[in-house]
Amino acid sequence: MEKVVLAYSGGLDTSVAIRWLGEKYGLDVVTLTIDLGANDRDLEGIREKAIKIGAVKAVVVDAKELFVRHFIFPALQAGALYEGEYPLATALARPLIAKLLVDVARDENAQAVAHGCTGKGNDQVRFDVAVAALAPDLKVIAPIREWKMSREEEIEYAVERGIPVPVTVASPYSIDQNLWGRSIECGALEDPWTEPPADVFQWTAAPHKSPDEPLYVELEFERGIPVALNGERMDSIALITALNELAGNHGVGRIDMVENRLVGIKSREVYEAPAAVTLHKAHQALEALTLSKDSIRFKAIVAQNYADLIYNGLWFSSLHQDIAAYVASSQRNVTGTIRVKLFKGICQVVGRQSEKSLYRHALATYDRGDAFDYTAAEGFIKLWGLPLKTQAQVQLLGQGETYGILPPKVEYKGKDES
């Protein structure tokens, strides 16, 4: 019999998919459950459940380390925030899950892989495209996109086959979470005018209920990678986990946005990403200290393109290889420590230091010890303004339409007296 490897969360959709893949396609199902952190799921329980429902084999993989090293940190170093805000937790996880599906499919001699995405989101695109890039011979099946069952029909299908249906009332939200953040959509959030109800949030305190004393945190980076928290070196997973907790406690990391999906629609999305928001802020502040103005300007353009590429499912592309090389190179001086203040939902950078700092006190100060050359300023201004002076004489003053850049003369009392 042919085989399929199914990305299995343990939830109702993918549980039903185990049986559906057998009935519809006559495939043996191997489930793959992946631990990407920040999820207290009972992995052994999920494994057993898969077998009980009918999987021929149930694999569980801890991919936290791979996720941090190969996905989270490169995106942090790049400053990749989709549409300026979303740290891409869900989007970054997809190519890794696709890669693991392909690896297991090869090991198990499977002919297909399957995932539980609906037909309306970005995730289906990311999975399908990533698998096509890595293993064009593998068929990709998306049962939920295909079966077109309503929620009621799905539950009926499950009950008839003895597939456990959660007794708790189904959450109105669609949630995806991993170490880098939590993504919430649907339910009341579909009205962009409605403030997110309190039950949307699980990782962050409501800012008005968060502690009345601010918390100061020191984050040390080496080449753009966080290596220590409050002076204590720790491994990356522990550091991100601790920061999710600390910043979340102070209400930091809530994002509420309307974003442009790849499939052509706008959607209202809420995210909780305390560590990601804090680390991006701190990392950016360290770059402000250690990179030149030109590098910062150029890198911002790359960051936006990189965020789009990740969001749009093009992780395994050759453009990505080139961007990755640039980003890695750009980080060689991004080493130092940033002090942030977490308070009532706000993460503020309040201190920065680095051996590679380009900030020179002697050049910046207005006090004694000022080393700035004022005479050079005069000459500089003369040349800087030269093209403008020429242009204004020939093309602006008295030359007709100025499109509002030249306001009219002011009237004032006593103007005509002398």
Q: Which residues bind ligand ARG (CB under 6 A)?
A: 90-91, 122-123, 174-176, 183, 185, 269
| 174 counts as catalytic | yes
Q: Which residue matches tokens 């790359």?
A: 302
**Strand ranges (DSSP E) for 153-207?**
174-178, 181-185
* Residue number with CB closer to ligand ARG (183 or 284): 183
CB of 331 to ligand ARG, least distance (A): 25
| 106 counts as catalytic | no
- Give me the catalytic one of 15, 19, 47, 123: 123
Neighbour-count burial of 212, counting CB atoms closer than 10 A to its CB (0-12 exposed, 13-18 middle, 19+ buried): exposed
- Cα–Cα distance, 333 to 317 (Å, whole number): 27
H or E element that contains 60 = strand 57-62
* Residue number with CB closer to ligand ARG (90 or 210): 90
* Residue number with CB closer to ligand ARG (86 or 157): 86
Alpha helices in 111-177 (DSSP H): 123-134, 143-147, 151-160
| 94 counts as catalytic | yes
- Cα–Cα distance, 143 to 20 (Å, whole number): 8
CB of 409 to ligand ARG, least distance (A): 52
Q: Which residues of 177-192 are buried (b: 16+ CB within 10 A; e: fewer)?
A: bbbbbbbbbebebeee
* Residue number with CB closer to ligand ARG (3 or 99): 99
End-to-end CA distance of the chain: 102
CB of 209 to ligand ARG, least distance (A): 26
Q: How many CB atoms lie within 10 A of CB 155?
A: 17
Tokens of 380: 């500089």
- Give me the catalytic one of 19, 47, 94, 352: 94
- Give me the catalytic one of 9, 13, 28, 183: 13
Q: Which residue matches tokens 């199902």?
A: 29
CB of 125 to ligand ARG, least distance (A): 9
Q: How large is the C-alpha radius of gyration of the chain?
A: 27
Compute the half-sphere exposure of residue 210: CA atoms within 13 Å on the CB side of its CA.
22
Q: What is the SS3 assignment for 350-389?
A: EEEECCCCCCCHHHHCCCCCCCCCHHHHHHHHHHHHHHHH
CB of 270 to ligand ARG, least distance (A): 10
| 13 counts as catalytic | yes
Compute the half-sphere exposure of residue 376: CA atoms within 13 Å on the CB side of its CA.
3
* Residue number with CB closer to ligand ARG (55 or 144): 144
- Give me the catalytic one of 69, 106, 174, 373: 174
CB of 133 to ligand ARG, least distance (A): 18
* Residue number with CB closer to ligand ARG (181 or 226): 181
Residues that are catalytic = 13, 94, 123, 174
